[in-house]
Amino acid sequence: MRRLTLTQRDEARLQTLNLVLGGVIEVKEAACLLGLSERHTWRILATYRKDGAAALCHGNRGRPPRNALLEELRHRVIMLARTRYANFNHTHMTEMLAEREGITLARSTVRQILMRAGIASPRHRRPPRHRLRRERMPQEGMLVQMDGSYHDWLEGRGPWLTLLLAVDDATGIVPFALFREHEDTRGYFHLLEGIIRRRDIPLALYTDRHAVFQCHRDASATVERPLGGERRSTQFSRALGELGVHQIFARSPEAKGRIERLAGTFQDRLVAELRLVGASTMAEANRILMDFLPRFNRRFAVSAAETVSAYRPLDSELDLAAVLCFKHRRKVARDNTLKYGWHTLQLLPEAGHHGHAGNLVEVQERLSGDLVVCYQGRSIATREAPPRPGLLRSGGRTPEHELAPIPHWLDRILRQDETQAQQPSRNIASTGTTTPKKPTPRQQARWEAVRVEKNRGRPIREIARVLGISRNTVRRYVALDSPPVYPQRRMRPQRQLTESLIT
C-alpha cells in the first residue's frame, strides 16, 4: 500500500468528515465548509467510511504523470545539444530534432530541458525598443531588398566568403542567394540573373550605396566609365535601367532592416548547417545553400496582402546575357582592330560593308567570359588579332611561347664572352672590383612592373605613361630577362706626383 502524506487541506477535510460522522454537523454544512457540492461531499464521505484517510488523496498522487518525458529522452536531447547540434539556437535545434532525429517536441520543452542543463541559446537578442513598424509591400515582387554579408561562414575550415542574398519585402521569401569571394558587380549580376530565372523581373530593388550600385564622386579618374548616357552610372545601374527596374538607395542600415536581420539569421542557421556537413569550400557551401533556401522559405515565408504577383515576365525577344554584362565603348582603329583590357580584337570583314574604322562600337564582356562587339544593335564577328611586330621583337612573350634552342656555335661564343667577363680587368685600380653592382629595390620593382605590363600586351608608350618612366628605360627593361645589373664604377688611377712637381 502506498504511503500517503496528508497536506493541511487534507487534514481540514478529515476533521470536517469526522464532525459529520460524529453527528456534530450535517452534510449540507460540511459542504459549505469544504467548498464542495453536497453530492460530492456525500461521495467523499462514503469513500472515507470505506478506505479511511486514503480517500482524501488523489489517485495519481506520488505517481509520474503520463505526459512526462522519459529520462532517456531527456538525456539524449542534452547529449545531442552538446555534441552534434552544438551552438544551435533552441528553435533551430527543435526543428533539427524533428527532421533528422525523429524527436518531436515543443520549442518550450526543448528550451526548458536545455536551460535546466545549463545550455543557453548562443544567439543574443537586443532588448526591445519602441519603434514604428514599416508596412510591407502589398504584392510580391514590388520591392526586393539586396545586400552582401562578408562573414566567416566556414568557421576556419576555408576562406572567408561573401553571401549575396535578396529578400522579397512582401513575403519574406529569399528568391536567390549565392556565395562569392568578394562583393563585386559580377556576383550581383549572377544574383539578379538567379532572381529573374526563378521568379521574374521585380519592379524595384532596394540596396545600400555600395560602389556596385552607385558611382561615387571620389572614384578614381582612371576607372573607365560604362555606357549609359551622360550621367555617371555603374554597370549594375545600367543593367537595371535596361530591364526597367527602379533602383532605391538606403541611407542607413536600419532603413533596410529586413535584409540586415535576414543576414543575421543566415549567420546563425546556415553556419550551423555548413558545420553539420563539414563544408570547407565555396562550391560545397553553394550546394548546401541551394538545399537550405527552400526549407528556409517554407519556414519563414508569409502571405502577401494581395495574391497577384507584381513580377514582370521576361520578354522572349530580350537577350538577358546581353543585359547582365559589362559594356564599354571603343573606337575602331584604321586596321579594324580595337583594344579591350589586355585583348586586341580583329573585326572581320562583312559582305557589303567597307569596315568600321573610326566608328564607336560597343564591347560586351559576358558573364561567360566571351567578348561580343556590337555596332548599332548588331553584333560583329571578331577574333583575336595577331600580335604586332614590336611586341614580338621586344621579348614580351606569353608563357606558352617556348624559346628556340641556341645553336652550338652561338653557345660556344656566349661561353667565351662569359669567361672573359669573369676575368679581372688589368686596367682597374687596385681598389676596384669586378663584382657587378646589385640592382636597387627601385630598379627591381620597375623591372617587374614593366615585365607584367608587357606580358599583358600593353605597348611601350602606354607602359611609360602608366608607370611614369621614360620610354628608353622601358625598352631597356623589356629587353632584359633579369633585373638590370650595372658594373662597378672604375676608379681612375691617380697620377703619381714626382719630386719635381712637389717642389
For 199-229, the pLDDT digits (tens) are 999 999 999 999 899 887 644 433 344 444 4
Helix (H) or strand (E) holding 331: strand 326-331
Residue count of the chain, please give it: 503
Average pLDDT (444-458) is 81
The pLDDT, as a whole number, for residue 496 is 47
Q: Which of 239, 196, 201, 235 has its CA nearest to residue 215? A: 235
Average pLDDT (319-336) is 92
pLDDT cut 90: percent of the chain above it: 45
Class of residue 204 by CB neighbours under 10 A (exposed 0-12, middle 13-18, buried 19+): middle
Residue 401 has pLDDT above 80, yes or no: no
Q: What is the pTM of this model?
A: 0.62
Cell readout for 381 is 564577328
Average pLDDT (251-275) is 92
CA distance 332 to 342: 16
Helix (H) or strand (E) holding 378: strand 378-380
- Within 10 angstroms of residue 325's Cβ, the number of other Cβ atoms is 22
**Is there a contact between 420 and 502 (Cβ–Cβ < 8 Å)?**
no
Average pLDDT (159-167) is 95
HSE of 294, CA atoms in CB hemisphere, 13 A: 5
Largest CA distance in the chain: 161
The pLDDT, as a whole number, for residue 484 is 78
**What DSSP assignment string belongs to 135-169?**
PPPSSTTS-EEEEEEEE-TTTTSS--EEEEEEEET
pLDDT confidence of 502, banded at 50, 70, 90? very low
% helix, strand, coil for the chain, step of 5: 40, 15, 45
Residue 77 has pLDDT above 90, yes or no: yes
CA distance 256 to 124: 21
